[in-house]
Structures are given as structure tokens and as C-alpha cells.
Amino acid sequence: MDQKRKDGFDGQKLISLPKSIYKNAQLDNPLLSQLFITHIGYFPKASHHYRERKKGCEDNILIYCLQGKGWFVIDKKKYLIKPNQFIHIPATTAYMRYGADEQDPWTIYWVHYSGRDMFNFNQSLKIKEHNGVQDILFNEKAIDIWKNMYQSLEMGYSRDNLCNANLCLYHFLATFFYPDKHLHQDGPAEPDLINDTVHYMRAHLHERLNVEDFAALNNLSASHFSNLFRKSTGMPPIDYFIHLKMQKACQLLYSPSLKIKEIAYAIGYDDPYYFSRIFKKLMGISPEQYRILQKE
């Protein structure tokens, strides 16, 4: 029985950003077209992990191995990857495949990213198809930055969250290009009213909440809370809540065992048809089409 799989590992973290998100955001902020995250993930002890890309990948790929072992094949050249090593592949049409070692599967942090002029970006930083595996000391700084990028995107696709994640991407890459120039720094961001509310939203995606519920959580009037939230995030609280629900739906659609109506119920929609209409309005395609595209 073939057990190969591209995701679905216990404890994994994975976000794939719809292209429509950047098309809309770039109209307001051209900065987001320069360099941006397309997929981001963390696979712990990814037993039987395997990906094959017969036509290459339109994004740059950086994979950092924290534990275990894996391998990467590009254009018939195979590289073995061990702990505290990384491989950085430019956007290419060359055939590639990669996966975890059968006996000691890798734990990896990885990012796919793209931008307006990736050819010159890769040329200037000498990111080539056959640079091979590179050694690096335990890159704690990169892991901290990766968590910041992931948490920003996990909190929704507001203008501020996208800008923060993609500006962090530059810093993340710099820790691999110039590792000797980066030292670990402590200092988590202090919680605030808006972040606390977004965390509450994420913990209650299965419920149907309104502005009054969020305002009461902060002992504010609905109008005052809405003004504060919109000023901070760029969108009304309910729109933000719906975006978080749709992001969760995208993650659940990766599981082929879940039916559309089950996903709808999981994020607080009793009517799966209404859920599908909302999903298509925000994502540009139906849940069924999204699931098919992710399989492809």
C-alpha cells in the first residue's frame, strides 16, 4: 500500500494563500507585489512525506530541516538533507521531487514565495537550481520569524497582517543568506484589545457571533468598538470574522474525508448552500473547485 502523502501530519501547520488575496491587496499597497508568501508550513516528523512536481514550481521554495532526514531531487540530481541544513530552490520549470527519509522522517519549516521580478531577485542573490544543501547553525531567529509570519496570516488577510508577514519574509530570508549577522532577540509583542478580540474570534469560529458580542467582550459600545476595530484592521469586525471562517474552511478542505456540509457546520453555518455562496464571494471559486485545485 502506497502511504506517500504531501500533508496531513500530526501537529502540522499549513496556510496556502489564494491568489485573489494579493490581487486585491496590491491595489492598495504596491509593496505587496515585490515579494510575498504564497504557502507556508511546518511538518513535524513528517512520515511518508512526498511531493512530486513534474513541471517544477512557479515559486521559490526554502525548506529548513530541524530534525530527522529527507531528500530532494531536481533535474536528476539528488541531495540528502540532515538537521540544521536547508535547501533553497528558485522558481523553475525543472522536474523535482522531495520527501522524508523512511527510517528517520524530517521535521521541516518551509516557505514558498514569489514576487514581481523573481528572475532578477534570484540572480542578485545567486539562488540557483543546483546550489544544493547548505549547512547552518541552529537558526532560532528564523523559527521565531516564521512563527510571526504564520501567526500574522493565521489571524486573517487584513492589510496590516499581509504587510507584516511579507516584510518579515525579507528578515526570514536574511537569516539564511547572512546567518552570522543575526542574533536571537527576545521580546514578545504586548497583547491589546484588537489582538485579544481576534484570538477570541479564532477560538469561536464554530459560533454565530455579532458586533454586540465582540463589543461586550471589551466592555465597549458596538459603535465605538467597531470604529476601533476598523481603524486597526481596515475592515469591520464581522467581515474580519467571516474572513477567518473562510480561512479555516480552506484548511478543512484539505481533508478529503470531510463533506462540504460538515465544514460549513464546523465554522458556524447551518446552511451549506449559504456557506458556499459566501466562500465563492470571498475566494472567487466554490469550495468544491478549491478542493480540486488543491489536489492538482
Domains in the chain and their CATH numbers?
13-181 (2.60.120.280), 193-295 (1.10.10.60)
Say how far apart CA 296 and CA 281 lie, in whole Å. 22
Say how far apart CA 155 and CA 17 lie, in whole Å. 13
DSSP letters of 93-152?
-S-EEEEE-SSSB-EEEEEEEEETTHHHHHHHTT--TT---EE-S--HHHHHHHHHHHHH
What's the predicted TM-score (pTM) here? 0.69
Strands 60-67 and 134-135: unpaired
Say how far apart CA 160 and CA 141 lie, in whole Å. 22
> Which helix (H) or strand (E) is 153 found in, with range?
helix 140-154
HSE toward the beta carbon, residue 247, CA cutoff 13 A:
23
pLDDT, tens digit only, all 296 positions of the chain: 357 888 788 899 999 988 777 776 665 667 778 899 999 999 999 999 999 999 999 999 999 999 999 999 998 899 999 999 999 999 999 999 999 999 999 999 999 999 989 999 999 999 999 999 999 988 999 999 999 999 999 998 888 899 999 999 999 999 999 988 875 544 444 447 888 999 999 999 999 999 999 999 999 999 999 999 988 887 899 999 999 999 999 989 988 889 999 999 999 999 999 999 999 988 889 999 988 887 66
